[in-house]
């Protein structure tokens, strides 16, 4: 097989991987740069778990929620794999996403693929990618997380590598904890970094989604968003909910609360006991808001 030429880099990730063993050092560097920003769909039956993964147990409830999210939105953040050989890969990061993808019935997952002993080249390629002007905030956050996970960098080391304040790096990383629908809106540029940063500061997912929908529906500015969040916080809407076992507010119930809250423009709450008996609580501030809710109920 002849050495890989530069023009062959456009043939796709499978072509890159098939030629990697016999590529020259300079061509391997080009391959690493290409792989650093390119995802491939890898069959799950070709992926093995890293035996040295320190995490041995996964929260079943959180795994079930991630499975449901993947069924609805797909895999938002690709996993990272090390290529062991033809059609053989090992997880570097993202084992929980892989498990949830299998539970969701996926036969293949999006993944970044690393070559053996490519860490220094990978770090340079990822830092170079961050300098691109067309990356959205979630893509930047994923790249920062990859640098920390795959190149063993702390927040402080990462901030030095990319020339950003540590607080800036932390703000980007926090975006990856936002619900998938909010991350997707950021990727679609429906939300600015300012909106996303404000939402990431909230600790209650239910309230985050209420604020998120208000931003989109009303076209709120960043300042108006911050004011809305302060209002939600002062009303107690952002407090973390009690455990589902104590008040019946399962993730499904919380989603229903979100939809109703958005519909009535009020913080609707569902209260249920262990037997499923309960009530809907729709608060109102004055006669006008009371009549608005009545109008909506009559219309429905």
Q: Enumerate the active-site residues.
A: 95
Give the number of other Cβ atoms within 10 Å of residue 242's Cβ. 10
Q: Do the Cβ atoms of 210 and 236 come closer than 8 Å? A: no
Integer Cα distance of 179 and 186 in angstroms: 11
Residue where the block lists tokens 């800036």 = 168
User: For the stretch 201-221, what's the b/e string if a residue is b when 16 or more beta carbons lie within 10 angstroms of its beta carbon?
Assistant: ebebbbbbbbbbbbbeeeebe
Which tokens is 36 given? 């650093």
First to last CA, the chain: 69
Residue where the block lists tokens 């053996």 = 116
């Amino acid at each position: 097989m002849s050495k890989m030429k530069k023009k062959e880099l456009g043939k796709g990730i499978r072509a890159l991987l098939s030629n990697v063993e016999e590529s020259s050092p300079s061509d391997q560097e080009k391959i690493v740069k290409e792989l650093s920003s390119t995802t491939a769909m890898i069959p799950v039956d070709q992926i093995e778990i890293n035996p040295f993964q320190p995490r041995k147990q996964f929260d079943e409830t959180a795994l079930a929620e991630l499975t449901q999210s993947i069924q609805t939105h797909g895999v938002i953040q690709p996993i990272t794999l090390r290529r062991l050989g033809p059609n053989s890969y090992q997880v570097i990061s993202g084992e929980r996403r892989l498990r949830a993808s299998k539970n969701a019935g996926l036969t293949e997952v999006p993944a970044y693929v690393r070559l053996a002993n490519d860490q220094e080249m990978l770090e340079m390629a990822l830092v170079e990618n961050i300098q691109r002007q067309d990356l959205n905030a979630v893509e930047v956050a994923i790249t920062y997380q990859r640098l920390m996970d795959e190149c063993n960098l702390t927040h402080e080391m990462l901030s030095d590598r990319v020339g950003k304040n540590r607080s800036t790096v932390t703000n980007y990383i926090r975006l990856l904890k936002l619900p998938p629908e909010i991350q997707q809106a950021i990727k679609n540029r429906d939300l600015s970094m300012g909106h996303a940063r404000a939402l990431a500061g909230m600790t209650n997912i239910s309230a985050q989604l209420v604020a998120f929908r208000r931003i989109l529906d009303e076209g709120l500015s960043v300042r108006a968003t911050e004011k809305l969040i302060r209002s939600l916080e002062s009303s107690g809407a952002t407090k973390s909910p009690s455990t589902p076992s104590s008040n019946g507010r399962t993730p499904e119930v919380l989603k229903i609360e979100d939809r109703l809250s958005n519909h009535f423009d009020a913080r609707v709450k569902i209260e249920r006991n262990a037997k499923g008996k309960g009530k809907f609580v729709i608060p109102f501030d004055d006669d006008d808001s009371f009549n608005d809710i009545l109008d909506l109920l009559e219309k429905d």
